[in-house]
Amino acid sequence: MRNLIFIVLGFLIIGCHTLEQVKKTKDITTPIVLVIHGGAGNINPENLSNEKEYQQALNEALEAGYEVLESGGTALEAVEIAIAIMEDSPLFNAGKGAVFNHYGQNELDASVMDGSNLKAGAVTGLMRVKNPISAALAVMRHSKHVMLSGDGAEEFCKEQGLQMVDPSYFYTEKQYNRLIEIQNKEIDAKEEKKGTVGAVALDKNGNIVAGTSTGGMTDKKYGRIGDSPIIGAGTYADNNTCGISCTGTGEYFIRTVAAHEVSNLMQYQDLNLQQAQKKVIEKIGRLGGDGGMIGVDKKGNVAWFFNTQGMFRAYKKSNGAKEIRFYGI
Ligand code: ASP
């Protein structure tokens, strides 16, 4: 009888312990999260006739990136896939749908940052690399530099075996017409929908990665570099705070070192991600700039903020939450 009591007690203790372990493991399990954007700007229900196409494209990028995270892949892999899908879509101002500079050329910029070690890679002024985000990743992984530009960047991409294309690959009628309209002053550059793309992911190891890719601004000067390839301005990631990808009039995001500023406000002023983003975008607004940003913090909270009419954006989290939105905050 006594033995039986000990055995039952033993089972109870082991049982409780196991339950406790399960609870603890659940509590400390890092959520996995992916948030993406397809640019901020003059986006409203009246001027967006192809809402469905944007919905589909964002969904495809989001699901592909999220699947990587769900199957145990890294935040770096998820960000690359999500951004590459948007680069391959003519809907966005990155890769295939990039805007034209003043001379009717496409000059592409991209960057990526790994929040686990603060490593980063960036490229500017590409004209022949199909997926600039992969170029940025290659710079981070396989060179001792952070940023490569123009011909040198393309030479490096070729050496790395990245897919190269003829510059005409980036031609789209929609963007070319836009250039002509802006040059003829039929529309103001401010009326643009924009369409830079970005992604921020938090993987199962708690690593945060942010990436951004763009064709820049329509009618930009040859050689102009915006915020997207500048670490700290358009892209930033630090596992201790957050990951951020920006979109908007790049010059203002450079001047306010926008993405890094969000991280700083969280680290040194104890603001949460949403408060920090709001503060930075409001400052950009006061200076006369417009745009927005997306982000994920180390706990897996997602936030976005913009001072334009809309921003193409979406997120998916391991708690089942998912949203794809264009308008309203
Ligand atoms: N930030 C990009 C740039 O200035 C443009 C954009 O996001 O629309 O190049």
Angle value at C-alpha 193, between 192 and 198, nearest 5 degrees: 125
Q: 40-49, 184-193, 251-260, 268-277: which range is least confident on average?
A: 184-193
Beta-ladder partners of 33: 202, 317
The catalytic site residues sit at 196
> Is residue 14 in some structural domain?
no
Residue 283 lies in a domain: yes
Mean pLDDT of 307-323: 96
Count of the separate structural domains present in the chain: 1
Q: Model confidence over 82-106: pLDDT tens digits?
A: 999 999 999 999 999 999 999 999 9
Mutate to test the pocket of ligand 1, among 108, 218, 247 (most ligand atoms within 8 A of CB): 247
**Other CB atoms within 10 A of residue 288 CB:** 9
The tokens for 316 are 């998916």
Calculate how far, in angstroms, residue 130's C-alpha sits from the geometric centre of ligand 1: 19
Helices (H), the chain: 2-28, 51-70, 75-88, 132-142, 150-159, 173-183, 250-255, 258-269, 273-287
Let me know if residue 18 belongs to a domain: no
SS3 label, residue 193: coil
Does residue 2 lie within any of the structural domains?
no
User: Of the ranges 2-16, 261-275, 303-317, which one carries the lowest mean pLDDT score?
Assistant: 2-16
267 found inside a domain:
yes
In the predicted model, what is the mean pLDDT of residues 270-288? 98
Task: Provide the angle, in degrees to the nearest 10, between the axes of the packed helices 75-88 and 132-142.
Answer: 150
Asked whether the predicted pLDDT for residue 22 surpasses 50, the reply is: no
Please determine, for residue 25, whether its predicted confidence score (pLDDT) is greater than 50. no
Task: Tell me, yes or no, if the pTM score tops 0.95.
Answer: no
What is the residue range of 142's domain?
35-327
Give the separation between CA 114 and CA 120, rounded to whole angstroms. Answer: 6
CATH number of the domain encompassing residue 243: 3.60.20.30
Please give the number of the atom of ligand 1 that sits closest to the Cα of 251: 4
- State which ligand 1 atom lies nearest to the alpha carbon of 220: 9
104-118, 175-189, 220-234, 290-304: segment of lowest average pLDDT = 175-189
In-domain check, residue 249: yes
Average the pLDDT over 121-128 and give the result. Answer: 98
Is 60 exceeded by the pLDDT of residue 147?
A: yes
Q: Residues 131-144: what's their mean pLDDT?
A: 98
* 26 in any annotated domain: no
The number of the ligand 1 atom at minimal distance from the alpha carbon of 248 is 7
Contact between 248 and 292 under an 8 Å Cβ cutoff? The reply is: yes
Ligand 1 environment, Cβ below 6 A: 39, 93, 194, 196, 214, 216-217, 226-228, 234, 247-250
| Sequence letter at residue 186 | E
- pLDDT tens, residue by residue, 149-186: 999 999 999 999 999 999 999 999 999 999 999 999 88
pLDDT at 254 over 50: yes
211 in any annotated domain: yes
How many whole angstroms from 299 Cα to the centroid of ligand 1? 28
CA of 7 to the centre of ligand 1 (A): 68
Report residue 2 as tokens: 């006594």
First to last CA, the chain: 67
Pocket probe mutation, ligand 1, options 123, 221, 244, 249, max atoms within 8 Å of Cβ: 249
